[in-house]
């Protein structure tokens, strides 16, 4: 009897354990199926969205670019392309892309600002005022953005210049040619000047002369120090002067000019500090010093 009960209990335990494992496997399979179906649905939706963009949106944009490029004068394209290169080609925009971006802003921002004015006040005057502000912003923002990028990029290039010259000088003193020294510089350094010299090397590989490629760098970085440096390099190449001496002299001059600019900025600081002193600190100081006296005068006169 005891053996029979033990056998039955063992059988029931094993059966329940097997049943539990079967149910667990079923739950896992159902969850995997649900996740797979959800993923397939998402992939289908994503493919549908990508298909819509590829089939409809992209061809429309490409056609607009082609039409606008045909109508846009070549001189304006060249001027705008130069500005974009000086700004570092933000978002890899071409001149046509930038013009279309300006047009889109001009059409959308007044509507957005006008709607915002309607939400705030709900009258015609606020819609007109905010729409006018949106128009002004749409006209000024793209060019100001480019100018800001150019200014920031030029400042970074000027900051990198002394170290770049030192590395070029060391490479030339080690026996490398100028092109090899530029290649070493591009592989070791990152930044604005490294990017420009890499573009210079690529242009030389495509068939441009060294003078033409360096002149392109000179056009893209309209900084006095860099233009003077490239002019000195081109002049030394033309006259057969050693580039090492030229680079050393240029490096010393650039460091001296950097020191002078720092001293000039330091001398301008006291003058700039006068504005917050006069507007914020002096009035508070006068209130603290003369306030009690004025209160005493008012009390004495009221008596």
pLDDT higher than threshold 80 for residue 66: no
The CA distance from 188 to 166, in Å, is: 13
State pTM to two decimals.
Answer: 0.68
How is 29-56 classified by DSSP, letter by letter?
HHHHHHHHHHHHHHHHHHHHHHHHIIII
The CA distance from 197 to 205, in Å, is: 12
**Would you state the pLDDT for residue 6?**
47
Q: Tell me the backbone φ, ψ of residue 270, rounded to 5 degrees.
A: -60, -35
pLDDT higher than threshold 80 for residue 67: no
Question: By mean pLDDT, which of 10-19, 112-121, 242-251 is the weakest?
Answer: 10-19
The fraction of the chain above a pLDDT of 70, given in percent, is: 82
The fraction of the chain above a pLDDT of 90, given in percent, is: 6
pLDDT in tens, 142-196: 999 999 999 999 999 988 888 888 888 888 888 888 888 888 888 888 888 889 8
Q: How confident is the model at residue 100 (pLDDT cuts 50, 70, 90)?
A: confident
DSSP code at position 88: T
**Would you state the pLDDT for residue 175?**
84
Contact 96/68 with Cβ under 8 angstroms? yes
**Would you state the pLDDT for residue 153?**
92
DSSP code at position 92: G
């Amino acid at each position: 009897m005891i053996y029979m009960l033990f056998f039955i209990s063992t059988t029931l335990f094993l059966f329940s354990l097997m049943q539990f494992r079967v149910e667990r496997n079923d739950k896992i399979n159902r969850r995997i199926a649900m996740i797979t179906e959800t993923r397939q649905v998402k992939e289908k939706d994503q493919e549908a969205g990508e298909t819509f963009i590829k089939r409809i949106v992209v061809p429309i944009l490409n056609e607009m670019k082609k039409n606008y490029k045909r109508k846009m004068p070549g001189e304006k394209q060249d001027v705008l392309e130069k500005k974009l290169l000086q700004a570092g080609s933000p978002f890899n925009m071409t001149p046509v892309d930038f013009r279309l971006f300006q047009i889109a802003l001009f059409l959308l921002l007044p509507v957005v600002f006008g709607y915002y004015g309607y939400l705030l006040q709900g009258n015609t005057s606020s819609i007109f005022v905010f729409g006018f502000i949106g128009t002004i912003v749409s006209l000024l923002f793209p060019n100001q953005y480019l100018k800001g990028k150019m200014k920031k990029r030029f400042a970074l290039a000027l900051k990198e210049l002394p170290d770049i010259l030192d590395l070029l000088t060391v490479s030339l003193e080690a026996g490398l040619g100028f092109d090899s020294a530029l290649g070493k510089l591009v592989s070791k350094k990152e930044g604005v000047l490294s990017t420009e010299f890499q573009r210079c090397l690529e242009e030389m590989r495509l068939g441009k002369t060294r003078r033409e490629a360096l002149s392109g760098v000179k056009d893209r970085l309209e900084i006095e120090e860099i233009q003077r440096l490239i002019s000195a390099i081109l002049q030394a190449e033309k006259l057969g002067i050693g580039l090492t001496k030229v680079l050393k002299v240029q490096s010393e001059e650039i460091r001296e000019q950097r020191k002078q600019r720092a001293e000039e900025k330091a001398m301008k600081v006291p003058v700039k500090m006068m504005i917050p002193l006069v507007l914020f600190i002096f009035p508070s100081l006068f209130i603290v010093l003369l306030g009690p006296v004025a209160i005493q005068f008012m009390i004495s006169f009221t008596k």
